[in-house]
């Protein structure tokens, strides 16, 4: 290694699972990183309230610091890595670091989904960079792909399986025919789900990520509160099994699509055709499909969470800053969301999709005809009907006179679909509320 290599001093704030892994990489692989990047990365501070995790990793206690002000006033520190999580303390730390003229690297998706535009603007005002590769895909380099690798493309659609907890749960439900509760317990017992899994299973984590990807891909400011979110916590095993019968698998999808001159975002469970590459993503793995007007379909696959994969993305951002690559991109490109006005999203009710509808119907003559008539009155065309008690699926626990009717539909306006289903559920001939799930076939034209 050349002694003339520049030295970049780094402070890591938050030494939990990801922070500890970042510190380990910076210390263990310093020579490799210097050889590859041409810059020597020096870990100068590990900032936290207590250092139990750092001590368990046997990190050098001379690096420990509890006073953030000491770090921010140290002119040697060029990069602050924010890994404390949440949106309150993390926001304060990020703002203070940017105002102090420090580049910031973060893995905090919630912070960026709610405050990204203002933080990006603050970074630009102070001539520094806010880098966030790890906040979206963990170990999957999707941010760099969007702003660099796909820069020659107009992005038409993004479909992502971006929550490993949910994908593991769904894999268990599909492959082992477990109930949602059984699969959640399996995820928790393996350390793949939190004791309170709400942010994951209710789709909020995925919504944070698709909001960030949409901001990058479409150059817009996204109001996170406008993103429609539906998780997997209400998903029934019956629907997972019917998906298999019909040639689909169930995944929690984060979706962003162009709709006319607008953009539509949503997070929801979806039936994905076995012909679609995303259908093969199993266990805790993530994958993101991007459709560009020039490239067509590209897909990015890997571990979306965990200490080492996320730390890999964090260190990549640090090197991007240290090498000067990121600041150049950050200043030059016009599609950063803070440089564009907020854009109201196209309501999901105005989008068109294929749908699966399962309803419990009185097994009497004419009941199915009334349902078909309602769909027709709303301009919705039926693709297929499956009327079978399928005791191995529904367990025979429904009311004796009701049978499940499964209907798949051709592309329909979602508002029309919801109105039709409300009418169907109000019929005397139907039972419990119908299950409605989006269908995604091989090509993105079927959604959006």
Phi, psi (degrees; rounded to nearest 5) at 49: -85, -35
Close Cβ partners of 281 (under 8 Å, ≥ 6 residues apart): 161, 167, 251, 287, 301
Which member of 102, 109, 209, 251 is catalytic? 209
Q: How would you classify residue 292: left for phi > 0, otherwise alpha for psi between -120 and 50, otherwise beta?
A: beta
Q: Which of 18, 74, 16 is nearest to 45 (CA)?
A: 74
- Per-residue pLDDT in tens (0 to 9) along the chain, 448 residues: 445 789 999 999 999 999 999 999 999 999 999 999 999 999 999 999 999 989 998 999 999 999 999 999 999 999 999 999 899 999 999 999 999 999 999 999 999 999 998 999 999 999 999 999 999 999 999 999 998 899 899 999 999 999 999 999 999 999 999 999 999 999 999 999 999 999 999 999 999 999 999 998 998 888 899 999 999 999 999 999 999 999 999 999 999 999 988 999 999 999 999 999 999 999 999 999 999 999 999 999 999 888 999 999 999 999 999 988 888 777 766 666 677 777 889 999 999 999 999 999 998 889 999 999 999 999 999 999 998 754 444 555 555 578 999 999 999 999 999 999 999 999 999 988 999 999 998 655 444 5
**Cβ-based neighbour number of residue 104 at 10 Å:** 27
- CATH number of the domain bearing residue 209: 3.30.360.10
Query: Does 331 map to a domain?
Result: no
Do 244 and 388 lie in a common domain? no
Query: Does 322 map to a domain?
Result: no
Q: 161-190: string of b/e by CB count within 10 Å (b at 16+)?
A: bbbbbbbbbbbbbbeeebebeebbebbeee
Asked which of 84, 113, 136 is the last residue of a domain, the reply is: 136
pLDDT at 363: 84
- Separation of alpha carbons 3 and 44, rounded Å: 19
Query: Does 297 map to a domain?
Result: yes
**Cβ-based neighbour number of residue 7 at 10 Å:** 13
Q: Is 209 a catalytic residue?
A: yes
Q: How would you classify residue 296: left for phi > 0, otherwise alpha for psi between -120 and 50, otherwise beta?
A: left
* Residue whose tokens read 């020096």: 42
Residue 72 token pair: 């921010």
Do 221 and 152 lie in a common domain? yes
Residue 153 token pair: 């493309």
Q: Is this structure's pTM higher than 0.95?
A: no
Do 109 and 185 lie in a common domain? no
Residue 385 token pair: 């009907």
Residue 302 token pair: 């890997």
- CATH number of the domain bearing residue 367: 3.30.70.260
Do 63 and 181 lie in a common domain? no
Give the per-residue SS3 of 357-394: EEEEEECCCCHHHHHHHHHHHCCCCEEEEEECCCHHHH
**What domain count does the chain have?**
3
Query: Does 33 map to a domain?
Result: yes
Phi, psi (degrees; rounded to nearest 5) at 260: 60, -125
Do 38 and 24 lie in a common domain? yes
- Separation of alpha carbons 334 and 320, rounded Å: 19
CB 338 within 8 A of CB 121: yes
Burial status of residue 381 (CB atoms within 10 A of its CB: 0-12, 13-18, 19 or more): exposed
Do 188 and 289 lie in a common domain? yes
Q: Which of 63, 123, 72 is nearest to 93 (CA)?
A: 72
- Separation of alpha carbons 31 and 37, rounded Å: 10
Query: Does 289 map to a domain?
Result: yes
Do 147 and 70 lie in a common domain? no
Query: Does 162 map to a domain?
Result: yes
- Separation of alpha carbons 313 and 309, rounded Å: 7
Do 78 and 157 lie in a common domain? no
Query: Does 230 map to a domain?
Result: yes
Do 229 and 271 lie in a common domain? yes
CB 197 within 8 A of CB 312: no
Do 263 and 213 lie in a common domain? yes
Phi, psi (degrees; rounded to nearest 5) at 267: -125, 130
pLDDT at 2: 46
- Separation of alpha carbons 188 and 169, rounded Å: 10
Distance between terminal CA atoms of the chain?
A: 52
* Residue whose tokens read 């008690």: 389
- Separation of alpha carbons 136 and 180, rounded Å: 26
Query: Does 13 map to a domain?
Result: yes
Angle at 53 between CA 49 and CA 55, to 5 degrees: 100
Do 364 and 436 lie in a common domain? yes
- CATH number of the domain bearing residue 22: 3.40.50.720
Do 97 and 177 lie in a common domain? no
Domain limits at 100?
Answer: 7-136
Angle at 97 between CA 94 and CA 102, to 5 degrees: 125
Asked which of 81, 101, 136 is the last residue of a domain, the reply is: 136
Asked which of 102, 136, 170 is the last residue of a domain, the reply is: 136
- Separation of alpha carbons 76 and 342, rounded Å: 37
Containing 298, the helix (H) or strand (E) segment is strand 296-303
Q: For the packed helices 204-218 and 109-125, what is the interaxial angle rounded to 10 degrees?
A: 30
């Amino acid at each position: 290694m050349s002694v003339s290599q520049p030295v970049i001093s780094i402070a890591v704030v938050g030494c939990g699972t990801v922070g500890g892994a970042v510190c380990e990489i910076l210390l263990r692989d310093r020579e490799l990183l210097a050889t590859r990047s041409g810059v020597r990365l020096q870990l100068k501070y590990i900032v936290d309230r207590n250092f139990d995790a750092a001590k368990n990793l046997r990190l050098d206690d001379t690096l420990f610091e509890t006073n953030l002000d000491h770090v921010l006033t140290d002119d040697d520190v060029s990069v602050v890595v924010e890994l404390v999580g949440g949106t309150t303390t993390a926001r304060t730390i990020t703002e203070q670091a940017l105002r102090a003229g420090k580049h910031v690297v973060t893995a905090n998706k919630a912070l960026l989904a709610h405050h990204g535009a203002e933080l990006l603007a603050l970074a630009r005002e102070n001539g520094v960079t806010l880098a966030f590769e790890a906040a979206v895909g963990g170990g999957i380099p999707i941010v760099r792909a969007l702003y660099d690798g796909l820069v020659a493309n107009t992005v038409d659609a993004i479909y992502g399986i971006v929550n490993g907890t949910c994908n593991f749960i769904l894999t268990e439900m599909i492959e082992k025919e477990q109930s949602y509760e059984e699969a959640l317990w399996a995820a928790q017992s393996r350390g793949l789900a939190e004791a309170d899994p709400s942010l994951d299973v209710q789709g909020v984590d995925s919504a944070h990520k698709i909001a960030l990807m949409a901001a990058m891909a479409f150059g817009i400011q996204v109001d996170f509160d406008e993103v429609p979110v539906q998780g997997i916590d209400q998903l029934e095993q019956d629907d997972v099994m019917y998906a298999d019968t019909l040639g689909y698998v169930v995944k929690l999808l984060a979706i962003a699509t162009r709709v006319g001159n607008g953009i539509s975002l949503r997070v929801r469970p979806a039936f994905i055709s076995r012909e679609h590459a995303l259908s093969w993503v199993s266990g805790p793995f993530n994958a993101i499909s991007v459709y560009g007007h020039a490239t067509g379909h590209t897909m990015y696959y890997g571990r979306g969470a965990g200490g080492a994969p996320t730390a890999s993305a964090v260190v990549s951002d640090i090197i991007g800053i240290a090498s000067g690559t990121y600041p150049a991109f950050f200043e030059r490109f016009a599609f950063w969301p803070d440089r564009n006005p907020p854009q109201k999203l196209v309501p999901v009710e105005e989008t068109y999709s294929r749908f699966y509808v399962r309803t419990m119907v009185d097994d009497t003559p004419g009941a199915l005809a009334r349902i078909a008539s309602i769909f027709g009155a709303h301009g919705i065309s039926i693709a297929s009907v499956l009327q079978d008690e399928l005791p191995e699926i529904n367990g025979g626990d429904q009311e004796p006179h009701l049978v499940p009717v499964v209907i798949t539909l051709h592309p329909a306006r979602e508002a029309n679909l919801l109105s039709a289903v409300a009418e169907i559920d109000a019929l005397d001939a139907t039972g419990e509320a119908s299950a409605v799930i989006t269908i995604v076939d091989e090509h993105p034209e079927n959604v959006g």
